[in-house]
Amino acid sequence: MLAVAAVQSGGSQTPGAGEPKKLKVDAYSRHLQWLRDPEQVAEAVVEMGFDGLDITVRPYLGRVDPEKVAQGLPPFVNTSRKHGLLVRTITCPISDADSPNAEKILQTASELGITHYWWGTFRYEQGKPVMPQLEALKPRVAKLAALNAKYKMTAMYHTYSGSGTVGSAIWDLLHVLRNFDPAQVGFHYDVGHMTNAGGNGTWALSMRAAGPYIAGVTAKDSVFESTVNVTGGGPMRPENAAIVAASGRRGGGGPPGPGGRGGDGRGGRGGDGPSPNAVAGEGARGGRGGRGGGNPNWRVRQAPLGTGMDDLPQVAAILKEINFAGPVEIQAEYPNGGAESAQDKITLPRAQVLGAMKRDLLALRVAWRPSGLL
């Protein structure tokens, strides 16, 4: 068990006097799947004005095949760095030390000077007590932390909203992590998902609590919208009444936790959602939010950064408060010609697709500039 001082110091934070350290913002290579050549990818990232690139090492919708990571990752990294880009983060399918290719991926990444990677995702086995499931995760986290220590890597557990996902409440996974070194295991704090999961500003309390363990941040935005329109105080239209009747609910009420993405409550295919497996399963592809017990009369709609529910200035203020100094990236999951869902071909002009992602970066810089972080 670590001394309290070691936990409070935070593996991803570097407290210092005076001005906070300027953060660097990465592009997410998943949104550039339609550009297959590493040179083209690097040129696009530079054109948009990002500082670095998070490279996906995945068997599905990835830039590098995990089975061939030792051969595929170095040239991609070297090409990106040749263009002046940082490469400090990869996204890979590691949920614990026993995940396929875990050690090979971490060894290759470490030898290339990469320091962080996406980690997860765990899901609850519904109908069983929560706390024993969390306790069962601790030996798995311990084994992964030891592997990370060996390769000087930090695992960033990507946070999702939804009642079936470990980490959506922050406090649950924080309970698991609190006796481990945050230089080895921490949160990849998804601003959009955590805003959805922590309504009425509760996300800010959770963010402060998780502060020492926030190893990286993902910025994206969304809004809640109703799937049942009742306007003017008149009677409900028959088609909307049918939706409410099918849901087994009486309708009305406020937005629930963001379970399903569509009006039928089912998770969509396009987003980087958690695995449908239980706690014992690997992190994998899934829908934006997945099945979380959400009211089907409401859905989450992804939005360009700065146009949704995120309070980006307050996020920046808290990051400054907790002395955050880790990787930051932007996910653009709103409709953008197929780039949002890692399509091989886009249906919009290249300039329009890249322009939308550049606009997200500018929105983040405008919102965070007063804090001195960017």
pLDDT tens for 191-247 read 999 999 998 889 999 999 999 999 999 999 999 988 876 666 666 667 766 766 666
Query: 318-344, pLDDT tens digit by residue?
Result: 999 999 999 999 999 999 999 999 999
Q: How confident is the model at residue 8 (pLDDT cuts 50, 70, 90)?
A: very low
Q: Is 301 exposed, middle or buried (0-12, 13-18, 19+ CB in 10 A)?
A: middle
What is the predicted pLDDT for the residue at 373? 96
Can you give the residue range of the structural domain that contains 115? 4-371
Of residues 355 and 295, more confidently modeled: 355
- Alpha helices of the chain — where are they, by DSSP H? 4-9, 38-48, 69-82, 102-111, 130-151, 171-177, 191-197, 202-210, 238-247, 312-321, 350-368
Of residues 37 and 292, more confidently modeled: 37
The encoded tokens of residue 8 equal 């409070």
What is the predicted pLDDT for the residue at 232? 60
* CA 322 – CA 337 distance, rounded (Å): 37
* CA 73 – CA 79 distance, rounded (Å): 10
Q: Which of 262, 327, 270, 272 minimizes the C-alpha distance to 295?
A: 262
Please report the sign of the dihedral spanned by the C-alpha atoms of residue 51, residue 56, residue 62, residue 64.
positive
Lowest mean pLDDT among 56-60, 100-104, 182-186: 56-60
What is the predicted pLDDT for the residue at 217? 98
SS3 272: strand
Q: Is 83 exposed, middle or buried (0-12, 13-18, 19+ CB in 10 A)?
A: middle
Query: 138-152, pLDDT tens digit by residue?
Result: 999 999 999 999 999
Q: How confident is the model at residue 21 (pLDDT cuts 50, 70, 90)?
A: confident
DSSP letters, 95-115, are SSTTSTTHHHHHHHHHHTT--
What is the predicted pLDDT for the residue at 257? 38
* CA 368 – CA 356 distance, rounded (Å): 19
What lies within 8 Å, CB to CB, of 173 at 6+ separation is 122, 134, 157, 166, 167, 187
SS (HEC) of 212-257: HHEEEEEECEEEEEECCCCCCCCCCCHHHHHHHHHHCCCCCCCCCC
Lowest mean pLDDT among 120-124, 207-211, 287-291: 287-291
pLDDT at 17 over 90: no
Determine if the peptide bond prior to 121 is cis (ω within 30°): yes
Q: How many domains does the chain divide into?
A: 1
- Give the gyration radius of the chain's Cα atoms: 20
Query: 107-117, pLDDT tens digit by residue?
Result: 999 999 999 99
Query: 87-104, pLDDT tens digit by residue?
Result: 999 999 999 999 999 999
Please report the sign of the dihedral spanned by the C-alpha atoms of residue 71, residue 77, residue 79, residue 82.
negative
Q: Which amino acid is at 193?
A: H
Average pLDDT over residues 261-274: 38
SS3 345: coil
Q: How confident is the model at residue 41 (pLDDT cuts 50, 70, 90)?
A: very high
Q: Which of 219, 211, 187 minimizes the C-alpha distance to 312?
A: 219
The encoded tokens of residue 5 equal 């001082």
* CA 19 – CA 37 distance, rounded (Å): 39
Q: Which amino acid is at 366?
A: V
Torsion of CA 121, 127, 132, 133, to 10 degrees: -10
What is the predicted pLDDT for the residue at 201? 87
The encoded tokens of residue 352 equal 């329009």
What is the predicted pLDDT for the residue at 244? 64
CATH number at residue 314: 3.20.20.150
Contact 221, 151 (CB under 8 A): no
What is the predicted pLDDT for the residue at 254? 38
* CA 92 – CA 75 distance, rounded (Å): 17
Contact 292, 259 (CB under 8 A): yes
Q: Specify the pairing of strand 116-119 against strand 214-219.
A: unpaired
